[in-house]
Amino acid sequence: MAEFDNYLSPGRKGHLIGIGGVSMSSLAEVLQGMGIVVTGSDMNDGANVESLRSKGIEIRIGHRAENIAPDVEFVVRTAAVHDDNPEIMAARARGIPVFERTQAWGAISKDYANALCICGTHGKTTTTSMCTHIMMAADKDPTVMIGGTLPLLKAGHRVGHGSTIIMEACEYYNSFLSFHPTVAVVLNIEADHLDFFKDLDDYKHSFHEFASRVPADGYVVANLDDKNTMDAVKDVQGRVITFGLSKGADVTARNIEFLGANSHFEILYKGRLFTDVTLHVPGIHNVKNALAATAACISLGVRPFAVKYGLAGFNGAGRRFEFKGKYNGADVYDDYAHHPGELKVLLDAVELLNYKRTVLVFQPHTYSRTAALFDDFVTQLRRPDVLFLAEIYAAREQNTIGISSADLARQIDGSIFCPTFDVIEDALRAIAHPGDIVLTVGAGDVYKIGERLVEDDK
């Protein structure tokens, strides 16, 4: 099969299927910026589609064979587009090469002197966003691809003209093995995506393969606090720089103070004061994310002032402890946490904020994850004062397991399983009071509940 690199030259023409997605829309802009003629299709209109159209990209709604114009030379598809898609079938019938989104991003990353790629079970979007803030403060003019919306960019991507690309690197289906990092950040490793990976060892092996892609003159930034991470980066050829709160970490923090949702601490590098930081997102996990971002940017030669001011300007990414507004005096937040480890750090952070009650609305994400990590979910979901469980968000799966959120509810005293969002919203309207924090949590569409509550209160 042809390499995607062969099509990265001005005047070539490509078609993107699923162009409205976060990663695909940013890919379209990057390709257009390289002088490539881009067209696309998507099942729905939306803000990303309209933004691309305003930049002169022709986009058709709906997937049809005729969307593949006679002069299209290559096709890129998002992971949700399968072989039976009419546009994929038309392209293959005409001998047009079809690439995965990650293959395209991987090829593009080769064109940058610095390819900073952030992976891990948790914290990828936040840490990628922090790196973006720091590199922008350092005037490095990076190209950016984030798996969420960053207010600084008003998007999940940025097309820059500097020598650095910053990319969130997802491990699912080994997508990140298409990337070519010169700096690889490994935040943490816990068993996940067990519908694809056989077990934790298989999962760790993929992270080892990712870190091994870093050249000898590059850097692997690794979490010294996490044994699985340190196992995964053992014997890689890149230079390893560690971060964390454990003794001996290259980049660490001291004198950590939590002030409501903010924290202040000093960052040490190789035992010496590097800078001090005020962070406007809560929790010790975000202190660690900030250390990871700092270590990555140190490896790229960034000075202390850029770290200090870049992190000071970071107020979170979309759906990462995102404040949505108030309802009946209660603060309403939304978070993307969909793994027990993410639930733990989220609830740990909320406990520091001294609310009278934590009201959690949780929507599990995928049947396979809920079943595989069932006991760990139960442990964390017993922590909030009030728990509403929405039905499992299927995402890409069919419920061949026969599992439901009702099964979780039976293991958690006082929890309330609600088969519809309307039932949850009515219950929240009845119980929300000043002094409460209402959290809508999950990787599906549970955020809509909080948004509707806030809208009702206006």
Catalytic residues: 124-125, 168
CA distances from 102 to 61, 68, 409 (A): 23, 21, 38
Provide CB contacts within 8 A for 52, sequence distance 6+.
19, 20, 25, 28, 29, 40, 59
Tell me if residue 26 falls in helix, strand or coil. helix
Provide CB contacts within 8 A for 328, sequence distance 6+.
429, 432, 433, 434, 457
CA 314 remoteness from chain centre:
16
Tell me if residue 227 falls in helix, strand or coil. helix
H-only helix segments in 322-444:
340-351, 367-372, 374-381, 405-410, 421-431
Q: How far apart are CA 429 and CA 443, in angstroms?
A: 23
Q: How far apart are CA 310 and CA 306, in angstroms?
A: 5
Q: How far apart are CA 295 and CA 292, in angstroms?
A: 5
| Strand-by-strand arrangement of the 37-42 sheet | 58-61, 37-42, 13-17, 74-77, 98-100
Q: DSSP character for 50? A: H
In angstroms, what is the C-alpha Rg of the chain? 22
Tell me if residue 165 falls in helix, strand or coil. strand
Q: How far apart are CA 339 and CA 373, in angstroms?
A: 8
